[in-house]
Amino acid sequence: MSNGMVCAPQPEAVEAGAMILKSGGNAVDAAIATALTQTAVDPFMSGIAGFGSMHVYLPESGTHQCLDFHARAPGAVTPDMWEDKLLHECEDGFGFILKGRVNEVGYQSIATPESLRAYSTALSKWGTKSLAEVIQPAIEYAEGGWMVRPHVRNFWLQHEPGGRVDHIEYLRASPATAKIYLNEDGSMKGLGEVIKNPDMAATYKRIAQAGADDFYEGEIASKIVADMEANGGLISATDLKNAGPEDAELLWTDYRGYKVASSPPPGGGVMVLEMLNILENFDLAAMGHNSPDYIRTVAEAMKIATVDKDNHVGDPRFVDIPLDRLLSKDYAKEQADKIKSGVKTHVPRLQQGEEQKETTHICAVDNAGNCVSMTHSLGMPSGVTTEGLGFVYNGCMGVFDPRPGMTGSLAPGKSRFTSMAPSMIFKDDKPYLIIGAPGGTYIAMGVVQGILNALDFGMDAQQAVSAPRISATSDIIEIVNRIPRFVQAELEADGYTFRRYPLGFHFAGVHAIRMTENGLDGGADPGRDGMALAV
C-alpha cells in the first residue's frame, strides 16, 4: 500500500518529504521536511526567514483550516516613509519601484520572518515527528552541498525589464551572501556546481537542539537584532518576539458540483474562487481548450479579479474586504454577463514594470488521506544574510504601497497581499485535487487554469499543470510560446494586446496531486526542476 505522495519544484526536497512518509510520518511531517529542505536547496525562493500559507486537511481529527504566516511590516514603519521615493508601480500591480531600491534589496526591505515558527507550530499541532527530525535533510544538504539546478541558475541570470534590480544583485547584497553563492572573483556558480553552506548547517543544528523559539527570542534572535541595528534594518527584538502564525478560516465555493477551498486574505484564494464563480457561467469545454473564445473569457475573468483585488483585498486586520460580494454567485453572473456582451475590463496601473516571483510550493498526501498544500516564499529576497547564520531574509517590503491611504499602504504590523492560493477541490466530500503554485501574481492565474484543466477538461495532474497557460493581470494578455499564433491573431483582430514569451512553460509553477479511485497521480510543472514522488 502506498504511503502517499509529495510534489514540489525541487527533487531533493521531494525526496526528503517522501522519506518522512516512508518512515511513518504523516502529510504534515512530510510537508515541513520538504519545506525546510527547500530552504537549503532553493535559498532564494524560500527560507526560514520567509512567509507563507499552509492549507491542511486531516479527516480523522476533523481538521480543515489554513495556517497563515504572512510577513508583517516592522513596528518602525510609518505610512509615508517612502512616499517621496515612488517611481512607478509594477505592471501587474504587485509591487512598486522606489528610488534607491530600498524596498527591494538590503536591510530595509526585510519584513518579519515568519516561516520557521509556522513550521514548528504545524508540527506541534498536527505532526508526529519533531522539528529536530524533519530538519535533518536540510542540515545534510547545507553541510554536504547541493547541485545548482537549471531553474536556480536561470533565476540568478534573470534580467528585469520592468526596472527592478537584476537578480545577480541579490547574490551581491551582503558579504555573507556573496561568500556562499558567488565565486571569489564575483562570478556565478555554474550549472551542476555544488554549493555548501556550513553557516546554515550550524544554524539549523542550533534550531534542532534549542527549538524554533531560539530564532525569535534566544541566541539566534540576538544575532539577528544586532545585525539589523548595525545596518539600518527595521526589524526589532519586539518584531521577532511577536512573529507567529495565525489560524484562519478557509474560503469556499462550489464549481460544477465540486467544492473548492482556498486560502483567505491576505492570500489570493479569493481571486481563484471569484474567477471560478465567473467562469462557471460558461461552457468552457464546448469552447475548446485555449481556443480564442476560451482565452478571451478566461482573460477577462482574470482582469476582473485583478481589479477587485487591487481595490479591495489586503490584510483583513487593516482593510474591510467585501468578501460576501466578491464571492457572490450573483456578482459572478453580473461579471459573466459583461464578458458575454463583449466588455473589455480595464486594469489601471501607474506605469509599467515587471513583477518577481521568488516562491515555492508543496503538495503532500499520506495513506490516511491527510492532505497539505503549502506555498511559502521570500517574496523578493532581500539578498541579506547575517554573517554566521547562513540564511537569506525575505524582501517583503517591496509590495507595500508607498502612498498613504491605499489598500496596501504601509502600517506597523500589517501584512502584504500575496497571490498565494494553496487550494483543495472535493468531489463527493472527499479530496480530489490538491493544488498550488509559486509565481507571484501569476499564482492565482496558474492555479485556476490547473483547476479548469482537471475539472472541465478531464486532465490528470501532470497534464493539468503542463498545458499551455496565459495570464492577464493588466490590459495585456500574456501567453507562452505554445499558444498558436493563429489564436493570438484572431484575438488581436478583436482589439486585444498580447505579450508572447519565448518560454513554453510560464505563469506560475503549478504543482498538484489528484486523488482518484485508481490511486494518486501527481504533476510537477515542467518549467521548474521538480517532480512528484509516490512512496
Dist. CA 148–CA 169, nearest whole Å: 18
Cell numbers of 75, please? 513596528
Consecutive H or E run containing 272: helix 269-279
Active site residue 385: no
In DSSP notation, 128-151 reads SS-HHHHTHHHHHHHHH-EEPPHH
Among 203, 297, 359, 473, the one annotated catalytic: 359
- Residue 362 one-letter amino acid: I
What would you report as the CA-atom Rg of the chain, rounded to the nearest whole angstrom?
21
Q: Do the beta carbons of residue 339 and residue 278 sit within 8 Å?
A: yes
Cell numbers of 501, please? 514569451
Dist. CA 36–CA 17, nearest whole Å: 10
In DSSP notation, 274-323 reads HHHHHHTTS-HHHH-TT-HHHHHHHHHHHHHHHHHHHHH-S-TTTS---H
The gap from C-alpha 218 to its chain's centroid, in whole angstroms, comes to 29
Residues forming a β-bridge with 431: 426
Dist. CA 377–CA 45, nearest whole Å: 6
Dist. CA 361–CA 38, nearest whole Å: 9
Among candidate residues 132, 63, 154, 158, the one with its CA nearest the CA of residue 356 = 158
- Residue 417 one-letter amino acid: F
Active-site residues, by number, are: 359
